């Protein structure tokens, strides 16, 4: 049931990210609400639903991008897999876990994007530019993660209780 609500939200977030949110910056960084929603969903509902959200949103981002097809989907899948480590982690209930996962996922998405672009033969992307673009994104995501996680957690609890898995 949760995926029936989360998938359209991911679709809307990815469409908004390619149109409206593209022009919005926070500390000079572009905000990736799809990434924040996907990792929040993984922390609330699990890896399976989170990967579906990442694939749906990543495909929309890939279709609207000039880069190699699959770059956004791959980078989101890798970041969502990192978030799943937080889901099964010993410190799952720790308040700071969502911040660590958001920072790590943001770093990972940017590194994967740069690696794919370099391997595809796109213009030289200096690693210094990765630092100047990524660090403001990490800061912006750290500021937004409580809001996005709070809304996602509320939504996940309202839809249905978490499943018990063995």
Q: How many domains does the chain have?
A: 1
Q: What is the pLDDT of residue 92?
A: 60
CATH of the domain at 136: 1.10.1760.20
Question: How many whole angstroms separate alpha carbon 67 and alpha carbon 122?
Answer: 8
Spatial distance between the Cα atoms of 59 and 104, rounded to a whole number of angstroms: 22
User: Which residue ranges of the chain lie beneath pLDDT 50?
Assistant: none
What is the chain's length?
Answer: 166
| pTM, entire model | 0.86
For residue 77, the enclosing domain spans 2-159
As a dihedral over the C-alpha atoms of residue 137, residue 133, residue 104, residue 56, rounded to 10 degrees, the angle is 70
**In this structure, is residue 135 part of a structural domain?**
yes
Considering the domain boundaries, does residue 43 fall inside one?
A: yes
pLDDT at 124: 62
Nearest Cα to 34, choosing from 42, 158, 26?
42
């Amino acid at each position: 049931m949760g995926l029936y609500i989360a998938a359209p939200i991911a679709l809307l977030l990815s469409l908004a990210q390619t149109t409206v949110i593209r022009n919005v910056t926070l500390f000079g960084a572009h905000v990736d609400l799809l990434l924040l929603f996907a990792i929040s969903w993984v922390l609330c509902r699990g890896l399976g639903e989170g990967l579906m959200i990442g694939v749906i949103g990543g495909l929309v981002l890939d279709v609207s991008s000039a880069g190699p097809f699959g770059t956004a989907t791959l980078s989101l899948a890798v970041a969502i897999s990192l978030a799943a480590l937080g889901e099964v982690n010993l410190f799952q209930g720790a308040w700071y876990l969502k911040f660590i996962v958001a920072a790590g996922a943001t770093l990972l998405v940017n590194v994967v994007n740069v690696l794919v672009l370099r391997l595809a033969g796109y213009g030289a992307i200096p690693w210094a530019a990765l630092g100047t673009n990524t660090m403001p994104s990490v800061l912006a995501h750290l500021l937004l993660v409580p809001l996005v996680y709070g809304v996602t957690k509320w939504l996940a609890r309202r839809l249905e209780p978490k499943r018990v898995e063995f």
